[in-house]
Amino acid sequence: MIGWSATLDVGDEVSLVLDVDSSSLRVREGTGGMQPLTGDDKANIEQTINDEVLLRTPIRFHSTSVDLDDRRLSVEGELTLMGQTHPLAFELAVEGGTRLWGSVVVKQSEWGMTPYTALFGALTVTDEVEVGIDVTLGAAEEYELRRPQELKPALLELEGISRSAVFAHYNLYEGYVAKRNEIVEKLAAVDRGGANQVSSALRALKVELAFAISAIRNHELYFEQLGGEGRNPAGAVRRLIERDFGSADAWRADLKATGMTGRGWAWTAYDWDEGRLFNYVGDAESTFPIWNATPLVALDVYEHAYVLDFGTDREAYIDAFFANLDWSVVNDRVWTDRIPLTR
Ligand code: FE
């Protein structure tokens, strides 16, 4: 079974709700036959379940009473199967506070279902079906799945940075979004009990999440701000740059040099604690953004950003980056993030 969700609410009143997409049931093995089930047999049985038995109808259980102690969960409630709702009671063992396991016996005829046979009668399902349950509880963590921002058409007309480089780079960005969504789903179910600083599933997911989320933010900043005419900064950001770097040339030279030292990123950010702009360096997507600083310009210096067009000539790529900067986007950031223009 791959399409299901269960919520065990352990507030003032304990309740359990389980929803199952019946078409997600999978045949894992058959026992007692002359021969093991083949892949085709399993697929045929799944099709029969969908087309003739459960008809892709949703399966839902909701509790009417739940008793929970350290070792046992006793549940009474109602199961809806094929549109019919009947009472069902079962007990599960509780292990370590987070694992529930046991089984529930469902007598199909009570829900008006005729036990089916498959493989010309060679496989017969008994009226009483035992459903094994083994779940690990995760904390309630609700995350929206994110979608990648669309590729803006101006990115296909950059000076010196080719379409194929932009497409390849954008594909990486889509991958970061997909991985972020995958990680937050895994986090909902990961075992917190095994958390460990040397190695643990939770640690791996948390580190990977920092990388994926930072990569999304970095690339959205990066792609949004390209597609302009380059030249010198104008408007509010020009005032900030001239105040904090002396001139646009000095800012450009410092960001370029910072980019030459970075293994991943260089950012011009407004640091709210320092009260000024600074060019910060990053060695990876998630190192080393500064707390309480707002990035205004994001320069990707990972090799994937330039190797297709410039080989290993990072300096030439950084020059092309400056030539394509859209200062109106950077100024929008100054206004949207309410960066103060005076100290
Ligand atoms: Fe990148």
Q: How far, in Å, is the centroid of ligand 1 from the Cα of 237?
A: 24
pLDDT in the model for residue 313? 98
Residue 180 Cα to ligand 1 midpoint, Å, equals: 15
Q: Do residues 234 and 321 share a domain?
A: yes
Full domain range(s) for residue 177: 153-336
Region at 279 (left for phi over 0; alpha for psi -120 to 50; beta for the rest): beta
Considering the domain architecture, whether residues 122 and 186 belong to the same structural domain is answered as no
pLDDT, position 217: 98
Domain end, chosen from 136, 169, 187, is at: 136
pTM flag (> 0.85)? no
124 lies in the same domain as 160: no
Residue 119 gets the label, from left (phi > 0), alpha (psi -120 to 50) or beta, of left
Cβ partners under 8 Å of residue 283, min gap 6: 262, 263, 264
Residue 9 is classified by DSSP as E
Q: At what angle do helices 248-261 and 314-323 cross, to 10 degrees?
A: 140
CATH of the domain at 78: 2.40.128.110
Alpha carbon distance 250, 256 (integer Å): 10
> From ligand 1's centre to the CA of 210, what distance in Å?
15
The rounded Å distance from CA 155 to ligand 1 centre is: 14
pLDDT beneath 50: ranges in the chain: none
pLDDT digits (tens, 9 = 90+) for 29-38: 766 667 777 7
Please indicate, yes or no, whether residues 169 and 305 belong to a single structural domain of this protein. Answer: yes
206 shares a domain with 128? no
Same domain? For 183 and 78 the reply is no
**Paired tokens of 72:** 């046992």
Are the C-beta atoms of residues 323 and 160 closer than 8 Å to each other?
yes
Distance 300 CA to ligand 1 centre (A): 6
pLDDT at position 3, please? 64
Cβ distance 78 to 15 under 8 Å?
no
Residues 132 and 157 in one domain: no
- Distance, CA 268 to ligand 1 centroid (Å)? 16
pLDDT of amino acid 138 = 61
* Contact by Cβ (8 Å): 322, 252: yes
Residue 116 lies in a domain: yes
Query: What pLDDT does 39 receive?
Result: 74
User: How long, in residues, is the chain?
Assistant: 343
What local confidence, expressed as pLDDT, does residue 1 receive? Answer: 55
The Cα–Cα gap between 235 and 330 comes to 10
- Looking at this protein, which amino acid is placed at residue 173? Y
- H-helix segments, the chain: 39-48, 163-189, 201-224, 235-245, 248-261, 307-310, 314-323, 327-336
Domain count, the chain: 2
- Do 255 and 185 touch, CB atoms closer than 8 A? no
Q: What is residue 158's predicted lDDT score, i.e. its pLDDT?
A: 98
Measure 302 CA to ligand 1 centroid, in angstroms. 6
**What is the 332 CA–ligand 1 centroid distance (Å)?**
22
How many angstroms is it from 203 CA to the middle of ligand 1? 24
State the amino acid at position 281 in one-letter form. V
Q: Is 206 exposed, middle or buried (0-12, 13-18, 19+ CB in 10 A)?
A: middle
341 assigned to some structural domain: no
What's the 249 CA to ligand 1 centre distance in angstroms? Answer: 25
Distance 181 CA to ligand 1 centre (A): 18
CA of 297 to the centre of ligand 1 (A): 14
Please give the helix or strand (H or E) that residue 64 lies within, else none. strand 59-68
Name the one residue in this structure whose structure tokens are 């940075």.
161
Please choose, from the candidates 164, 175, 168, the residue with its C-alpha nearest in 3D space to the C-alpha of residue 216: 175
For residues 229 and 291, state if they share a domain: yes
